[in-house]
Amino acid sequence: MMDRNDPQPLTAVPDPEIPAGFPSGSAIRRIDWGAQRAFDLLLVPVSEGQEAEGSSLSVLAREWATTGSGGSQVAAGCPGSVLIPLYGNHVVWSPERGAVIAEAGRLDTLAAALTEFAQCERRLRDLEQRGDSLNNRVETDAASILVAGEATDQPPRGGVQGSQLESISIRAELSKIAPLVHAPVLHPPTAASQLAERLRDRTRLAERHDLATNRADFAVQVYEACGQRAFDAKIARRQSGLEWAILVILLGQMALMLVEILSSRTGQ
């Protein structure tokens, strides 16, 4: 079953969109992320042994990739673009664009590895942004939960309940991408595995995932603790009401007994 976050099939972009300075045979593929977002992937084939040509083209590719990332929010500690040299090949990544400059035999393999990384990084970046927004509301939501729990038997609803579900959703999504973020080193290594490892290292993907997970766990724990406290306050109010009801009943019985005693003495 396809994940709803999986990218759509690659689609070719017309040649006129290829920037100047790249050799014939270059192509741009567009990966549709959904929600009116896409990742453009520039593929530049070079001849075997032309490392100098690849180095000069990598500079152009990085400039092209960076100019397309002006509207993207980059997480703290993550560079705006990354250039990875790999066995005479060059791979460029930025939040909205990427490029692979490689021999024809390795072009598709490296492109697939870059695409998988770009998807994983994009999902993590979305979760980081959602987590930041949620953590800005945690203190206010916690106060609302406690006040509602102390004032009424009704559980908090609306925005607070939505935030609680959001914290659980973020934590669940982070657990889904954890195997990709913390992928073990492959032995023997391949060009694709080494590229993925270097991209994860340069963008601090594991550290960012751990931080986002800790923050999501904190939000989940806060909502759970506040919910438990509100529930305990609700139970305490009910117990207090029951105790008062028992006390009223006992007082009523004592009053009836007193009336009966006084009536019997009056009759005598």
Q: How many residues does the chain have?
A: 268
Instruction: Give yes or no for a cis peptide into 188 (omega within 30° of 0).
Output: yes
Name the amino acid, one letter, at 59.
V
Specify the 3-state DSSP secondary structure of 46: strand
What DSSP character marks residue 186? Answer: P
91 - beta bridge partners? 84, 100
Identify the burial level of 53 via C-beta atoms within 10 angstroms of its C-beta, where 0-12 means exposed, 13-18 middle and 19 or more buried.
Answer: middle
**pLDDT for res 146:** 63
pLDDT digits (tens, 9 = 90+) for 136-188: 888 777 777 666 545 455 555 545 677 788 889 999 999 999 999 998 888 88
Residues with Cβ within 8 Å of 250's Cβ and at least 6 positions away in sequence, in order, are: none
Query: Within the chain, where are the H helices?
Result: 51-67, 104-135, 138-151, 159-181, 191-202, 205-267
Mean pLDDT of 33-59: 81
**pLDDT for res 234:** 67
Using CA atoms, how far residue 181 sits from 78, 224, 255, in Å, is: 14, 27, 74
Residues with Cβ within 8 Å of 18's Cβ and at least 6 positions away in sequence, in order, are: 26, 27, 28, 42
pLDDT tops 90 at residue 123: yes
Q: What is the mean pLDDT of the chain?
A: 80
pLDDT digits (tens, 9 = 90+) for 199-235: 999 999 999 999 999 999 998 888 887 766 666 566 6
**pLDDT for res 73:** 61
Buried b (16+ CB within 10 A) or exposed e, 228-245: eebeebbeeeeeeeeeee
* β-pair type (37-46, 27-34): antiparallel
* Helix or strand run (H / E) with residue 90: strand 89-93
pLDDT digits (tens, 9 = 90+) for 16-39: 478 888 888 899 998 887 766 788
| Interatomic CA distance for residues 118 and 5, integer angstroms | 12
**pLDDT for res 145:** 65
**pLDDT for res 55:** 83
Q: Map out the domains of the chain as residue ranges.
A: 11-234
**pLDDT for res 7:** 47
Angle at 216 between CA 220 and CA 224, to 5 degrees: 5
Identify the burial level of 178 via C-beta atoms within 10 angstroms of its C-beta, where 0-12 means exposed, 13-18 middle and 19 or more buried.
Answer: middle
pLDDT tops 60 at residue 198: yes
Q: In what order do the strands lie in the sheet with 89-93?
A: 11-13, 27-34, 37-46, 97-103, 89-93, 82-86
pTM to 2 decimal places: 0.74
